[in-house]
Structure 1
């Protein structure tokens, strides 16, 4: 499996949206209610993703011609890290996060923060992030995590 990480293009918006929606429905659904999943899904329509590509530094992971993951950097905040459910646990998220970290270091960012889903908390812990506090949007729990980027 040869996975490539590259900057997102406007033409990727539909595929990014599809990966996010699948991951929400198939992976995150075990930790969140249908109502929460549906609300979060609405934030990642192809049009919304296209707007995010214009505002954030967005990366995608591809295997061959297939887009299988995405992650973005918004200032010092890591956002929208999703990998297609059928290829999760193969190191794709780790590769995306390495690119986020490389970009942050280039920009002299001292620490990264990530609002983690309950589902992804263990993933971020393995990458050296520490939980700072919980945040709630209604009944949706997010764990705010941080990692210092020391040399």
Structure 2
């Protein structure tokens, strides 16, 4: 668990997750990540037991961002974008790739803010079908 995580909220989340699993709801995990084509550092050297430091040019822009979901250990609804993932990109991904492939009564777990989740899912579902748990950021879609 992250050192800054709220233990009480974490327990609430685990209890809700256990209930969803008990109710046999499909649990969907989603995330996004950036892949940099120029990030090849096969070797690094330092004294034994010490960190290896290097230099990195943070101004390079060749990055592909991926958004995807996992259900039952299977990756699905993968979107690759050669641009930043902003709310418009996320909304399009939800509407075009994620929602059409979700099992009925899915519970979605993601690592973004509640506002981002509400905005992205509400826009994709016509402003009315998303419900995001205000207490722990746990959301459930109704398809």
TM-score (norm 1): 0.35
Select the structure that is richer in helix. Answer: 1
TM-score (norm 2): 0.36
Higher relative contact order (CA 8 A, sep 6+): 2
Select the structure that is richer in strand. Answer: 1
Structure with larger Rg: 2
